[in-house]
Amino acid sequence: MLKKKSGYVIAILGATGAVGKETLEILEERKFPLSSLRLFASKRSAGVELSCQGRDWKVEELTPAASFHGVDIALVSATDTISKEYGQRLAAAGVIVIDDSGVFRMDSDVPLVVPEVNAAALRLLPRGIVSIPNCTTTPLVMALKPLLDTAGIKRVVVTTFQSVSGTGAAAMDELMTQTKDLLAFRDAKTEVYPYQIAFNLLPHIGSFGDNGDCSEEVKIARETRKILDAPELLVTATTVRVPVLRCHSEAVNVELYRPLKANDARAALAAMPGVLVYDDPNKKLYPMPLDATGKDEVYIGRVREDASVANGLNLWLVSDNLRKGAALNAVQIAECLVTR
């Protein structure tokens, strides 16, 4: 457990990546009590300087010989292999690990946390590891929690529209390069995704399982049930990669146990910390990725009753996947750990 101090030593594994860079900005914005930062990435980034809280910090190569002596909390957002290799090792050395990968999320002795929804799960850290959810699960549970508390939820059907930044910095480059090449009548090179992403969309995120579900779809269902502590909740997802740089959007259909008027749903959602209801069809007001980019809140609009099932409700949400979907959620967990 963390001792109370005026500043903490934070390590970021994957500091040069899309999430890592966002983490540095958020630590600065929120004036996280830092005494020192240790930044780690691959060999190619060693020596690069990144700034945070008015100082430049040198990136170190992450190697098995790296010492984590004195580190209080490690924020890990690199690759699954790095999480597997270093997560347990860091925790065994007494470092609290906040991990962004799918490696530990479903382990029963690892809390999977969205502070606005289940901060209480942080009370016990038997392995010294906390996982943050998949970047689509986090905004989804923020929307579902107030509905669950108000009217109970039987079934959730969600379709996601996920930006390329969810795949990392190389995928952002790929979308921009393909777009430029195609507009200049050149062939588009495809390296990160199996097909061209510019002017296209891919109904495929992660790997396919035996029944045809993508791993991302399975993650959303399992993680949602774990975070909401609702093992019976029925969840089905279709995950789609879209040619958007930043922010994930989700079309969510919910079957509730009890009737809930759209206005009452809006009120319950608006009362949820971290949620912004942005919903006025008469003024063409609904959230889009450009609205939520760089923002902390989960934006929710298009809230309406669905008459095709008993107690049905539709909504649309948009959230910045690099912020609330990853870096912000991890920093909020670190804040909970240092202030409790």
The residues annotated with a catalytic role in the active site are 135, 248
Question: What does the block give as tokens for 142?
Answer: 């923020």
Q: CA–CA distance from 196 to each of 47, 171, 191, 241 (Å)?
A: 34, 11, 9, 11
Q: Which amino acid is at 106?
A: M
Contacts with ligand A2P in 242-271 (CB under 6 A)?
none
- Give the one residue of 8, 9, 10, 16 binding ligand A2P; rule: CB under 6 A: 16
CA 71 to chain centre: 24
CB 64 within 8 Å of CB 77: no
Q: Which amino acid is at 230?
A: A
Counting residues that bind ligand A2P (by CB under 6 A) gives 17
By CB under 6 A, residue 50 contacts ligand A2P: no
Q: How far is the CB of 78 from ligand A2P (least distance, A)?
A: 3
Q: CA–CA distance from 106 to each of 2, 31, 57, 141, 267 (Å)?
A: 24, 31, 34, 16, 32
Q: How far is the CB of 200 from ligand A2P (least distance, A)?
A: 21
Q: How far is the CB of 224 from ligand A2P (least distance, A)?
A: 23
Beta bridge partners of 239: 160
Please identify, among the stretches 13-21, 149-157, 259-267, 286-294, the one whose residues bind ligand A2P according to the rule CB under 6 A. Answer: 13-21
Phi, then psi, of 99 in degrees rounded to 5: -110, 135
Q: Which is nearer to ligand A2P, 102 or 168 (CB)?
A: 168
Reduced to 3 states, what is the DSSP secondary structure of residue 228?
coil
By CB under 6 A, residue 134 contacts ligand A2P: no
Question: What does the block give as tokens for 91?
Answer: 């925790």
Phi, then psi, of 72 in degrees rounded to 5: -90, -50
Contacts with ligand A2P in 149-178 (CB under 6 A)?
168-170
By CB under 6 A, residue 79 contacts ligand A2P: yes
Residue 280 is classified by DSSP as B
Q: Which is nearer to ligand A2P, 82 or 113 (CB)?
A: 82
User: CA angle, 86 as apex, 4 and 323 as ends, to 5°?
Assistant: 65
Nearest to ligand A2P by Cβ — which residue? 17
Q: CA–CA distance from 246 to each of 122, 169, 274 (Å)?
A: 29, 11, 19
What is the DSSP code string of 145-178?
HHHHHHH-EEEEEEEEEE-GGGG-HHHHHHHHHH
Q: Which amino acid is at 293?
A: T
By CB under 6 A, residue 15 contacts ligand A2P: yes
- Give the one residue of 9, 41, 313, 315 binding ligand A2P; rule: CB under 6 A: 41
Q: Which is nearer to ligand A2P, 93 or 169 (CB)?
A: 169
- Give the one residue of 42, 53, 215, 253 binding ligand A2P; rule: CB under 6 A: 42
By CB under 6 A, residue 37 contacts ligand A2P: no
- Give the one residue of 52, 78, 220, 303 binding ligand A2P; rule: CB under 6 A: 78
- Give the one residue of 10, 11, 18, 175 binding ligand A2P; rule: CB under 6 A: 18
Binding-site ranges for ligand A2P (CB under 6 A): 14-18, 20, 41-42, 44-45, 62, 78-79, 82, 168-170
